[in-house]
Amino acid sequence: MSATAQTNAATSEHDDEDGTDSVYVHLVAALAETPCDHALPHPRRWAVDHGVPEAIIVDLLERHGGFCDCEVVTNAWARLVGG
């Protein structure tokens, strides 16, 4: 997966054309089933499952204020996608 494709997958609020869930879709679904543990386990799992280096996802989310799963949803996502 190219760097552009990795960033697009990380910043999409929707499933990709091939049906692969975006990190956001994955995170929202995971948080519906398990509470935030004040870390980033779900984006890290998404990265591993999709062949994206964890460091890319973690850096991207943390640079936008997402230091844990719930902060990604409540704080970082709007900044990340320009909302």
Confidence of residue 83 (pLDDT cuts 50, 70, 90): low
Average pLDDT over residues 43-54: 89
Helix pair 41-49, 23-33: axis angle to 10 deg = 130
How much of the chain, in percent, has pLDDT values that exceed 90? 33
User: How far is it between the farthest Cα atoms of the chain?
Assistant: 32
Q: What is the pLDDT of residues 5-25, one digit of tens each?
A: 655 656 555 455 555 577 888
Q: Compute the C-alpha angle 12/14/18, nearest 5°.
A: 100
Cα 20 from Cα 50, distance rounded (Å): 9
This prediction's pTM? 0.74
Cα 52 from Cα 6, distance rounded (Å): 7
